[in-house]
Amino acid sequence: MDENFEQNKLPELKLDAKQAQGFLSFFKTLPSDPRAIRFFDRRDYYTAHGENATFIAKTYYHTTTALRQLGSGSNAISTVSVNKNMFETVARDLLLERTDHTLELYEGNGSNWKLVKSGTPGNLGSFEDILFASNEMQDSPVVVALFPNFRDNGCTLGLGYVNLTTRVLGLTEFLDDSHFTNVESAFVALGCKECLLPVESTKSSEYRSLNDAMTRCGVMVTERKKNEFKGRDLVQDLSRLVKGSIELVRDLVAGFEFAPGALSCIISYVELLSDESNYGNYTIRQYNLDSYMRLDSAAMKALNVMESKSDANKNFSLFGLMNRTCTAGMGKRLLHMWLKQPLLDVNEINSRLDLVQAFVEDTALRQDLRQHLKRISDIERLIRCLQNKRASLFHIVKLYQSSIRLPYIRSALEQYDGQFASLIKERYLNPLERSTDDRHLNKFIGLVEASVDLDQLESGEYIISSAYDSNLSALKNEQETLERQIHNLHKLAATDLDLVLDKALKLEKGTQYGHVFRITKKEETKVRKKLNTHFIVLETRKDGVKFTNTKLKKLGDEYQRVLRDYINCQKELVARVVQTAASFSEVFEEVAGSLSELDVLLSFADLAACSPTLYTRPSITPSDVGDIILDGSRHPCVEAQDWVNFIPNDCKLVREKSWFQIITGPNMGGKSTYIRQVGVNILMAQVGSFVPCDKASISVRDCIFARVGAGDCQVSGTFLMVTGNQIM
């Protein structure tokens, strides 16, 4: 029996015959969906039923002995119960690891149940609190819609996408070949987890190749009706969702034939218009396939760019090696995106390299900034909670604690006076100065310090300060006065009964009786006469006797009334503070962008400066000039393993001389590692990182094709191809 089954003691589903019959009647009305895993909230635990129950038992408990039968005879269905911890484990696996299931959560009782949460690998929104309660959100999934127009000589595809974490909408349109290589590159670059397709397209003869491309990328396909791919109302919908001029939106959409329909389907599918908190908070952009180096799924796997569950340690993947980010999630997500979108712009690559060089050379600056960034929360997710009206004082305080670190980050950056000072000022100091002036985050900091009782944070309480509102202050004073009167009454009762205060005569507060006195049954025998004369006995149990008197009852009732008024006043004030804090969302978005970029570049610098082997700044040239020269190059992930003593290798790909090379040698001779390290070094350089070489000169490449490893088809062989705009 699996230890998960032992550790997660199965809650027992207890329903009487009427309740069981009511639930079974409801369950049979649910539409058949082989991909949907449905859970039912039983308050203290969850249940799954039918085929879902069998799937849960076999997949997560690894035993069918976890199954029970609900109902009798031909109406009986399999049932499995899971506790809260196991439910969270299942949710994380289904939505973050797998790409073949959706998750639904129902609440209710008897035959009355309703769907309260639904999630897919691309749309995690309603389950984010469960998925990332104790885990950082390392990647931001994207939902894509494709509207294909198949033709004899290829296919024109309209593509729309939405990133719900960063609130970005995008669209593009392009031609593709029969292998859908452009689709695959776009899915890799965007980090697509789910793709919407017209149901008619999935029945076409060309769909098999398209489906193969999506399968290689680990994308879940969701079929939608063709009439959902209508773009006639798109401009009107975007005018409500997107910041900025409607004319710009109209001009952007007008340039496409099929992409508007795809984007319209996305907006409908994720129900953006049903939530007013989305209005005016999205940005829209045109995605250009030629903006970044193209990487297909095979290249990503061959080069071990992203982490795998099978990795023995983090250094097996390029992401794991390079991820030295400090912020809570933001830096990791940006690094994820950068590794999937290496740059082609020489100037932008060199700007990143300039900043990395500044942080490598100035150790004190790098260490100081990293220490401050460790105290920065996941501002992007906190902003989303604010905008979705799901924020509490906890989220406000987290934003406040991040905000008060910004002056320290500014001060550290201002100390730098090296050759890249003007670039640091332009990229970070100027935005931070704009954000932290008296009109913006300083005003937010003032709001929090005036409204929140910061002294209570150490005890885990997030409450409004009584000094913030006169009504709240009056209720707080009244509450404290009543507490003193009740305490004095406690002293008086101890004197009357001749009992030691707090030790023999205790004052307790409960939901059933409110404030009461309690003594042990042993003490009760000593004071029984006085107790029956001056007090009212409420309850006699093994743990003692609870009693009260008219004065305590009156004061207790008054205390409960004041407490209710105080709690209601707190709720109203919290709502007001959260609403005011939400007006700072745009400022926080700019801050989050600056800090996450700074975090990733500091991570690159820390890798280069702290590695026991040499990392060097590559010389970057445009794609139509220069060569690829890697002197003393190494594979960064291989050399990071404890048991490896890596021997450096040179690589010289010289234009018109040795642009094409065949690598030969015996099995296990290092051919694959050598080929991989060339691709990895080029990818790292175009992301903006130093590379593990003695010296490196790289002519920008627009694509890396790689098929490396023992699992490859023997016919296709092992190869790596780096291509440019002019040379193949």
Task: Map residue 33 onto helix, strand or coil.
Answer: coil
Give the pLDDT confidence score for residue 80 in this predicted structure.
94
Give the pLDDT confidence score for residue 709 in this predicted structure.
58
Residue 493, amino acid? A
Tokens of 257: 């034939």
H-helix or E-strand spanning residue 5:
helix 3-7
Q: Which is it for the CA torsion 88, 271, 379, 572, positive or negative?
A: negative
- Whether 680 and 318 have beta carbons less than 8 Å apart is answered as yes
Give the pLDDT confidence score for residue 720 in this predicted structure.
61
Q: What residues are paired with 544 via a beta bridge?
A: 541
Tokens of 626: 């220069």
- Whether 99 and 219 have beta carbons less than 8 Å apart is answered as yes
Residue 443, amino acid? K
668-690: pLDDT as tens digits: 778 888 989 999 999 999 999 99
Give the pLDDT confidence score for residue 388 in this predicted structure.
79
Q: What angle do CA 169, 102, 240 make, to 5 degrees?
A: 25
d(CA 299, CA 707): 7
Check residue 32 and report its DSSP letter.
P
Task: Count the helices and strands in the chain (H runs, E runs).
Answer: 28, 23
CA dihedral 459, 463, 467, 472 (to 10 degrees): -130
Give the pLDDT confidence score for residue 717 in this predicted structure.
43
Average pLDDT of adjacent 10-residue blocks, the chain of 728 residues: 52 83 92 93 93 94 91 87 92 88 92 92 84 76 92 86 91 91 93 92 84 91 92 91 86 90 94 89 91 92 86 81 94 95 96 98 97 95 86 94 95 95 96 84 94 92 94 96 95 91 90 91 85 88 90 95 96 94 92 96 97 96 93 93 88 87 81 90 97 96 79 44 48
| pTM exceeds 0.85 | yes
Tokens of 358: 């500044």
H-helix or E-strand spanning residue 444:
helix 441-451
- Whether 373 and 592 have beta carbons less than 8 Å apart is answered as no
Q: By CB neighbour count within 10 A (0-12 exposed, 13-18 middle, 19+ buried), where does 649 fall?
A: middle
Produce one character per residue of 118-142: b if its CB has 16 or more CB atoms within 10 Å, e if not: bbbbbbbbebbebbbeeebbbbbbb
Question: 52 CB contacts (<8 Å, ≥6 apart)?
Answer: 36, 37, 38
Identify the residue whose tokens are 């004065």: 551
C-alpha atoms less than 13 angstroms from C-alpha of 583 in its C-beta half-sphere: 9
621-639: pLDDT as tens digits: 999 999 999 999 999 999 9
- Strand locations in 334-441 (E): none
Give the pLDDT confidence score for residue 159 in this predicted structure.
96
Domains of the chain as residue ranges with CATH:
3-119 (3.40.1170.10), 142-291 (3.30.420.110), 470-579 (1.10.1420.10), 611-723 (3.40.50.300)
d(CA 88, CA 82): 10
Which of 559, 564, 565, 554 shows the shortest CA–CA distance to 484?
559
d(CA 651, CA 639): 17
d(CA 433, CA 1): 60
